[in-house]
Chains A and B, each alone.
Chain A
């Protein structure tokens, strides 16, 4: 089932009636066409509105404006139970007093009229779904007697049993430990492939989204920043936010400038950037974009080397870097070439992204221009699931999110939206330590 979101907007009213400005725009004019039978990852930092979007698709939250279509049906005003969706909650929300089987049967027992199945059919359906998610041996256990991963699968089975048109997963993996998470995400991938149900899942973990999604949607402050196949988005970020959000270790960002088609970081001329106009830029360099070279043009002060087996990660510092450290990944064979306190790099052209300092939009140069155009053409050919946010977010929006106001933080869900937005400002920081990101798992 194709899912189309048109101008979807969600505004949480201000708690304080006098202060109209305190209202929170959780989702801002969201336009998206999700192709049939694909697995879509909604990705963004906490508070970017991804869960709100999911809950609006589910019908648990009503949009402030805009509409939602499943195929040709307008479901905007439809109650959740009439939309034909399956929803898996972050903490599963399995009924603790019912056995696994009763939990899975619950949605079927709610069906009325001609949709109602006979008892045998219900049991048959429940068993089929249980087999699909591989929990059929635990049918008579209570949820509390299952591990987190098994509970997760029961929740998926309960969502699948009524054969939904769309399956929605809200941070499905954030309550699992690292090993289970890897295993369960493969499981979700497999189940989705088997059932071919259009699946939308929400996550703040870019690695998770990249690894199992057909397409990812990167969001910030309720606005789509970029959509597309994970690898495309990674290779061709449309703006600084997307570049910073994807990738482990995170991209290294420097301040620099373009002068006469040459890129300068600090005083060093590091790259030819044919076609780029003179301007102040942010330079994003993927860790794998560095090449160790004694005659290299970018100089950094070495502060340590992390050995990771096949590769090593050179941790260094540079005055122009916005991150506290510059991380570059090079082959372990080159370790012996690192001597002394400084290290010199050359840059791989296709791993260097320039962003205008004002708008934070991408500045294409050299071969990137053609590559980008070719990519866009191919995306359009393959399903037109591509869009990107050009230009900066409205200034007042960003400022509002940065405001340290809202003393009453921690108060209930409505404020949570705003509270979470504040959190999103710590995103760059979180990216410096991506392993910490998982700990900010509370939804918005």
Chain B
């Protein structure tokens, strides 16, 4: 009896009030989170679920096996009431397209080439910016400009810069890059016009993408550099380390968390490359004038292409891209775990 009474203490009114307040306080936190959770659920979580569902919708066929409807169209016609069957048909279609291989190759090439170049450049520029005092703010602003300009508009400016109109050395030859090449005695290159080669196109794209990716990376790395204790450099100086060694043995390892971050986000951004190509080559051809088969298309471009015709396939393409990015990021994280010093 006595122990039972001890287990159930008699509480006064105030004490009960306090107890309830304590019980309810976690609910308060949820209440504050609610608006964000609702928005996230509607605009992020549900679309993701929906994309996965759409990607796996089977086509609707008649008795003869002829395709009558794509899965998505049928779903639309039925007003969403459709007992769908699970299938990989959409994936098979996407992979089967002639344009898929081009898009995948372009995406991987652009990413694999631009991410290392832009990271190295950003690192060098950040270190240089960090070591100078006068004009630092001005230069920082200049390097940051691409970040705040419109990708499509700048893409068009790039197209103009790499232009080649009319016979060479005539007043109508306006591409500034070719003018510079000529001034140094080189032969002008057909960068983006009709009949230009794939690698000429890619060069322009790579330059553009690298330039566009620099500001964010410089910003992150510069922030990291400013957080590095200056005494490490004093110590290295007393120890007689050369500038090169200081850079490789001290700066890079101490910045490695930032470098890893920049590389990982760079890979993700690279696989999502699309607007730069639209900016330079236009979204109709996705290639130089006169080309056929969208030779510079990327994975995101593929998704956009199919959205108009077959949303199921667009979803499938998006999922393929997601799996690629996921796998690459996992590899990145695995490597950085071994190499990055936190």
Task: Please give the residue numbers on chain A whose beta carbons come within 8 Å of chain B beta carbons, in ascending order.
Answer: 58-60, 79-82, 85-87, 89, 91, 93, 95-98, 106-107, 109-111, 158, 162
Query: Would you give the shortest CB distance from B286 to chain A, in whole angstroms?
Result: 45
Query: Would you give the shortest CB distance from B136 to chain A, in whole angstroms?
Result: 15
Residues from chain B with Cβ under 8 Å of A82 in the complex: 240
- Interface-facing stretch out of B29-37, B227-235, B322-330: B227-235
Give the CA-CA distance A162 to B249 in the complex, in Å: 19
Does B242 sit within 8 A of A, measured CB to CB? yes
**Other contacts beyond A58-B238, A86-B238, A93-B229: 7, CB < 8 A:** A95-B250, A96-B341, A106-B249, A110-B240, A110-B242, A110-B245, A162-B240
Q: Say which residue of A60, A86, A95, A98 sits within 8 Å of B237 (CB atoms).
A: A60
Knowing A81-B240, A110-B240, the reply to whether A87 touches B245 (Cβ < 8 A) is: no
For B229, B240, B254, B341, the residue with the greatest tally of chain A CB atoms inside 10 Å of its CB is B240
Residues from chain A with Cβ under 8 Å of B250 in the complex: 95
Residues from chain A with Cβ under 8 Å of B239 in the complex: 81, 106-107, 110, 158, 162
Query: Would you give the shortest CB distance from B285 to chain A, in whole angstroms?
Result: 49
Does B139 sit within 8 A of A, measured CB to CB? no
Give the CA-CA distance A266 to B308 in the complex, in Å: 102
Q: Name 11 A/B residue pairs within 8 A (Cβ), A-sorted.
A: A82-B240, A87-B235, A87-B238, A106-B236, A106-B241, A106-B249, A110-B239, A110-B240, A111-B240, A158-B239, A162-B240
Does B99 sit within 8 A of A, measured CB to CB? no
B238 touches A85 (CB 8 A): yes
Residues from chain B with Cβ under 8 Å of A85 in the complex: 238
Knowing A95-B250, A96-B254, A97-B253, the reply to whether A89 touches B234 (Cβ < 8 A) is: yes
Query: Would you give the shortest CB distance from B252 to chain A, in whole angstroms?
Result: 9
Per DSSP, chain B at the interface is helix
Query: Would you give the shortest CB distance from A154 to chain B, in whole angstroms?
Result: 12
Give the CA-CA distance A98 to B252 in the complex, in Å: 12
Residues from chain B with Cβ under 8 Å of A93 in the complex: 229, 231-232, 234-235
A97 touches B238 (CB 8 A): no
**Closest residue on chain B to residue A89 by CB atoms:** B231
B242 touches A97 (CB 8 A): no
Q: Say which residue of A80, A91, A96, A111 sits within 8 Å of B238 (CB atoms).
A: A80
For B234, B242, B245, the residue with the greatest tally of chain A CB atoms inside 10 Å of its CB is B234
Chain B positions 209-242 with a Cβ under 8 Å from a chain A Cβ: 229, 231-232, 234-242
Query: Would you give the shortest CB distance from A175 to chain B, in whole angstroms?
Result: 13
Residues from chain B with Cβ under 8 Å of A106 in the complex: 236, 239, 241, 249
Give the CA-CA distance A60 to B232 in the complex, in Å: 12
Query: Would you give the shortest CB distance from A84 to chain B, in whole angstroms?
Result: 10
Give the CA-CA distance A80 to B235 in the complex, in Å: 10
Give the CA-CA distance A129 to B61 in the complex, in Å: 81
**Closest residue on chain B to residue A158 by CB atoms:** B239
**Closest residue on chain A to residue B233 by CB atoms:** A93
Query: Would you give the shortest CB distance from B323 to chain A, in whole angstroms?
Result: 34
Q: Say which residue of B229, B234, B241, B249 sits within 8 Å of A60 (CB atoms).
A: B234
Query: Would you give the shortest CB distance from B218 to chain A, in whole angstroms?
Result: 23
Give the CA-CA distance A98 to B254 in the complex, in Å: 10
Knowing A95-B250, A96-B254, the reply to whether A110 touches B235 (Cβ < 8 A) is: no
Give the CA-CA distance A278 to B71 in the complex, in Å: 113
Residues from chain B with Cβ under 8 Å of A110 in the complex: 239-242, 245
Query: Would you give the shortest CB distance from A389 to chain B, in whole angstroms?
Result: 31
